[in-house]
């Protein structure tokens, strides 16, 4: 006779599989595997031959993880069918990220009890935690609506400004709009968007799509409701908006100043063109992957500044990568509070709980560890310089897609390392945050306190 209340083994395995970390990792792995199989078909390549398995796996991973790093040229190597598969993987990856990240709030609120539900509702004012279908529907409609607007703007520009045929203009407009909103950075041009370096009618719609997609669904909808009343914004929205603006301005100034006289990047442009290119480079470093100037020609200080921007990334519950601006913001306020000798970390009129601070610290340190380990390994595998290898590793982990041009020249084992890094960088912060939240528990006792020397 089975004891009452005992859970069967098969049900325990099912319950364990419902852990957010397993669900997210399994979903993305399944999408990557499906994409790899589809890109391995002879019909997926322009030559009609089967693609190399590693190239197919690398491209599928980069598309699902909305990164943008490529080992083969998207426009010439893949056929129309292959490009359609890539576009579908980008859309699935982008929508999957936003949906899973948003619904994770619902899951956590239910798993952590009634009190946590009210806390989650208070912290994510844009979400109705009781209406899961409504949340998903709004995410899908919002994403498709933004992509349609950007696609229309780009299509009109390609038709009028570049005299492309209607079919070509529509195709280019839709492809780049979907890639931009999902922060993927895939382009069907071998030179990405360098041919449009001084064209604001192409650069600005793409940049706007990247910024909106990178802000995150909760932040965008809270801004839509309370854009006139910033005092009602949640801490998450305040941190995301403030740091996004600050990083965009700082990145634009730093990159424009560093490359102003570089004849291989901004040098040949006039002053408005240089500012536009500097702004575009700053936006793309926030995990989009398009480039309007040759990344391999950037000066070392520009590469380092881009590394920093890529690692920080964009907003939570959006299509951007990196450790996220909210993580960076929480750590910044924690440092400021420590310097002022305050016992609590306050943002505006709200106090950040210690558990939130520990999660931010864990995500940041693990991110640094992943990038440094990958950089050391790539240095041992290749003959490229530290600047190039660090840039490649940071771009892969932060799912940016920018490259100094070494991706296609890497040995196959290095490409496999980047595949792991892209996958870990996409699902890592999200799954880690959920795992830490679900593992949180209160001790029924306290150990004796002992201070140690720090610094």
The residue extents of the domains of the chain are 16-437
Q: Which residues contact 260 (CB under 8 A, 6 or more apart)?
A: 266, 267, 274
Question: DSSP assignment of 211-239, as one string?
Answer: HHHHH-HHHHHHHHHHTT-GGG--HHHHH
- 2: pLDDT strictly greater than 50: no
Within 13 A of 75's CA, how many CA atoms are on the CB side? 13
Q: Write down the pLDDT at residue 120.
A: 40
- 330: pLDDT strictly greater than 90: yes
pLDDT tens, position by position, 218-229: 888 888 888 888
C-alpha R_g of the chain? 22
SS (H, E, C) 401-428: CCCCCCHHHCCHHHHHHHHHHHHHHHHH
27 SS3 class: helix
Within 13 A of 202's CA, how many CA atoms are on the CB side? 25
Q: Write down the pLDDT at residue 27.
A: 80
What is the pLDDT confidence band of residue 430, given thresholds at 50, 70 and 90? Answer: low
- 392: pLDDT strictly greater than 90: yes
What residues pair up with 346 in beta bridges, in sequence order? 351
Q: Write down the pLDDT at residue 21.
A: 63
Neighbouring CB atoms inside 10 A of 256's CB total 20
Q: What is the mean pLDDT of residues 70-81?
A: 95
Instruction: Give the position of tokens 């998903």.
Output: 136
Q: What is the mean pLDDT of residues 230-250?
A: 92
**Per-residue tokens: 212:** 């909106």
Residue 444: phi and psi, rounded to 5, are: -90, 5
Residue 212: phi and psi, rounded to 5, are: -65, -45
45 SS3 class: strand
Burial call 66-76: b when 16+ CB within 10 Å, e when fewer: bbbbbbbebbe
- 121: pLDDT strictly greater than 60: no
pLDDT tens, position by position, 170-212: 999 999 999 999 999 999 999 999 999 999 999 999 999 999 9
Strands 350-352 and 345-347: antiparallel
- 103: pLDDT strictly greater than 80: no
What residues pair up with 345 in beta bridges, in sequence order? 352
Q: Which pTM does this prediction carry?
A: 0.87
Give 451's DSSP letter: -
Q: What is the mean pLDDT of residues 87-102?
A: 78
The rounded percent of the chain whose pLDDT value lies above 90 is: 62
SS (H, E, C) 260-290: CCCCCCCCCCCHHHHHHHHHHHHHHCCCCCC
**Per-residue tokens: 441:** 């528990």
346 SS3 class: strand
∠ Cα 223 136 114 (to 5°)? 80
> How remote is the C-alpha of 274 from its chain's centroid?
26
More confident residue, 314 or 134: 314
Q: Write down the pLDDT at residue 436.
A: 55
Q: Are 396 and 421 in contact (CB under 8 A)?
A: yes
- 22: pLDDT strictly greater than 70: no
What residues pair up with 352 in beta bridges, in sequence order? 345
Alpha helix locations (H) across 112-131? 114-123
More confident residue, 20 or 66: 66
Q: Are 193 and 206 in contact (CB under 8 A)?
A: yes
Q: Write down the pLDDT at residue 413.
A: 95
Give the start-end residues of each E strand in 293-421: 345-347, 350-352
Q: Write down the pLDDT at residue 102.
A: 57
More confident residue, 97 or 313: 313
Distance CA 264, CA 261 (A): 9
């Amino acid at each position: 006779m089975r004891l009452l209340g005992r859970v069967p083994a098969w049900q325990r395995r099912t319950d364990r599989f419902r852990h957010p970390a397993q669900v997210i990792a399994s979903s993305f792995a399944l999408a990557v595997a499906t994409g790899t199989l589809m890109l391995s078909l002879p019909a997926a390549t322009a030559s009609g031959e089967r693609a190399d398995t590693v190239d197919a796996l690398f491209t599928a991973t980069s598309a699902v993880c909305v990164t943008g790093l490529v080992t083969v040229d998207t426009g010439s190597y893949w056929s129309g069918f292959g490009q359609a598969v890539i576009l579908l993987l980008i859309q699935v990856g982008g929508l999957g990220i936003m949906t899973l990240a948003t619904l994770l709030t619902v899951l956590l609120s239910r798993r952590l009890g009634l009190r946590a539900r009210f806390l989650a509702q208070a912290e994510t004012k844009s979400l109705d935690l009781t209406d899961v279908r409504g949340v998903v529907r709004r995410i899908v409609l919002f994403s498709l609506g933004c992509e349609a607007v950007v696609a229309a703007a780009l299509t009109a520009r390609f038709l009028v400004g570049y005299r492309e045929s209607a079919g070509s203009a529509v195709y280019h407009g839709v492809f780049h709009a979907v890639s931009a909103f999902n922060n993927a950075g895939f382009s069907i041009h071998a030179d990405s968007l360098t041919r449009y370096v001084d064209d604001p009618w192409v650069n600005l719609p793409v940049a706007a799509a990247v910024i909106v997609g990178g802000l995150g669904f909760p932040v965008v909808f809270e801004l839509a409701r309370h854009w006139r009343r910033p005092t009602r914004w949640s801490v998450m929205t305040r941190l995301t908006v403030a740091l996004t603006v600050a990083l965009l301005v700082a990145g634009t100034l730093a990159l424009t100043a560093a490359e102003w006289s570089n004849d291989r990047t901004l040098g040949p442009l006039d002053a408005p063109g240089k500012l536009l290119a500097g702004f575009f480079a700053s936006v793309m470093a926030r995990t989009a992957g398009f480039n309007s100037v040759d990344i391999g020609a950037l000066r070392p200080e520009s590469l380092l500044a881009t590394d920093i921007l890529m690692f920080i990334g964009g907003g939570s519950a959006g299509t951007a990568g990196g450790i996220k601006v909210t993580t960076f913001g929480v750590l910044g306020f924690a440092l400021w509070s420590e310097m002022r000798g305050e016992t609590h970390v306050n943002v505006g009129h709200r106090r950040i709980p210690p558990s939130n601070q520990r999660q931010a610290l864990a995500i940041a340190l693990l991110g640094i560890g992943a990038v440094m380990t990958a950089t050391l390994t790539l240095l041992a595998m290749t003959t490229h310089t530290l600047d190039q290898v660090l840039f490649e590793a940071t771009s892969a982990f932060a799912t940016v897609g920018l490259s100094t041009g070494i991706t296609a020249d890497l040995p196959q084992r290095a490409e496999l390392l980047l595949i792991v890094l892209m996958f870990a960088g996409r699902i890592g912060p999200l799954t880690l945050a959920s795992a830490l939240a679900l593992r949180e528990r209160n001790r029924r006792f306290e150990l004796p306190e002992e201070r140690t020397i720090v610094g």
